[in-house]
């Protein structure tokens, strides 16, 4: 069981490993309300593995939100939970703490149990996508990106994307990334969806740019998509 004293001892040791240069780098790419300590993600992952050998839930109960790294470690620990029900409960408790793309994306990439419980988590993702909170919606999109980009799910992904409300840059970039991976999975099916005109021009443009930046897409498709973008621009 974790106690406040044990928690403080752990973080005193972690702070000794801080990297001032990493703080400066992180502040350039991450906007967050939390103070940054400069502890690198691999160290946090290593610490999460250590905590998981003892007791995750008692750690989460006493964990503090005094720094970006403390919150990030909580999120990474969610991926160590063995039960899908425990993860569901812990995830909804964690969501209000997410205030930037990194906390969203790094935490979601740790939730490997989702890949084994796709049907259980789909209704949960739908709840996230309907949220009024930007980063809750982004969590839903990035969950789809990480664990559902398969041919059998593509049509479902397309329908969910059409229902997402909001034009925030962070949200649209996550959707564009998702659609790029869908395109790489099945070019014909995804092109048909893009060509149907259901997306805003802003999201379509970001998606096509993301696909054109990929080394996994050939020049024929890149040229075809640029023509589609031009056509849609003239219509918008």
Tokens 């993301």 belong to: 210
What is the model's pLDDT at position 236?
A: 78
CA terminus-to-terminus distance, the chain? 59
H-helix segments, 109-200:
113-116, 118-129, 134-147, 154-163, 169-185, 187-195
What is the model's pLDDT at position 81?
A: 97
What is the model's pLDDT at position 84?
A: 97
What is the model's pLDDT at position 20?
A: 93
What is the model's pLDDT at position 194?
A: 98
- Which residue from 104, 108, 134 is spatially nearest to 121, judged by alpha carbons? 108
Backbone torsion region of residue 67, taken as left when φ is above 0, otherwise alpha when ψ lies between -120 and 50, otherwise beta: beta
The whole-angstrom separation of Cα 40 and Cα 149 is 29
Domain-wise residue ranges, the chain: 1-111, 117-236
- Which residue from 32, 74, 13, 75 is spatially nearest to 23, judged by alpha carbons? 32
Phi and psi, residue 2, nearest 5°: -90, 140
The whole-angstrom separation of Cα 20 and Cα 125 is 37
The whole-angstrom separation of Cα 9 and Cα 3 is 10
Question: In a 3-state reduction of DSSP, which class is residue 74?
Answer: helix
The CATH number given to 117-236 is: 1.25.40
Phi and psi, residue 215, nearest 5°: -80, -5
Furthest CA-CA distance within the chain? 63
pLDDT tens for the chain, 236 residues long, are: 999 999 999 999 999 999 999 999 999 999 999 999 999 999 999 999 999 999 999 999 999 999 999 999 999 999 999 999 999 999 999 999 999 999 999 999 999 999 999 999 999 999 999 999 999 999 999 999 999 999 999 999 999 999 999 999 999 999 999 999 999 999 999 999 999 989 999 999 999 999 999 999 999 999 999 999 999 999 87
- Which residue from 164, 159, 173 is spatially nearest to 129, judged by alpha carbons? 164
């Amino acid at each position: 069981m974790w106690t406040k004293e044990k928690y403080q001892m752990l973080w005193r040791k972690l702070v000794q490993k801080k990297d001032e240069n990493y703080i400066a780098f992180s502040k350039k790419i991450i906007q967050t309300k939390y103070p940054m300590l400069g502890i690198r993600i691999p160290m946090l992952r290593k610490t999460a593995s250590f905590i998981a050998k003892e007791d995750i839930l008692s750690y989460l109960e006493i964990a503090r939100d005094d720094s970006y790294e403390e919150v990030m470690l909580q999120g990474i620990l969610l991926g160590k939970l063995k039960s899908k029900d425990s993860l569901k409960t812990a995830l909804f408790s964690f969501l209000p703490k997410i205030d930037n793309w990194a906390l969203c994306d790094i935490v979601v990439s740790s939730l490997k149990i989702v890949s084994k419980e796709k049907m259980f988590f789909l209704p949960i993702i739908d709840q996230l996508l309907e949220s009024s909170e930007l980063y809750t919606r982004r969590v839903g999109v990035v969950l789809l990106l990480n664990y559902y980009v398969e041919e059998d799910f593509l049509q479902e992904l397309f329908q969910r994307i059409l229902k997402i409300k909001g034009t925030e840059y962070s949200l649209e970039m996550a959707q564009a990334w998702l659609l790029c991976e869908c395109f790489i999975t099945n070019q014909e099916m995804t092109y048909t969806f893009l060509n149907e005109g259901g997306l805003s021009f802003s999201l379509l443009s970001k998606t096509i740019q993301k696909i054109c930046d990929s080394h996994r897409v050939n020049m024929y498709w890149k040229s075809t998509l640029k023509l589609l973008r031009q056509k849609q621009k003239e219509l918008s």
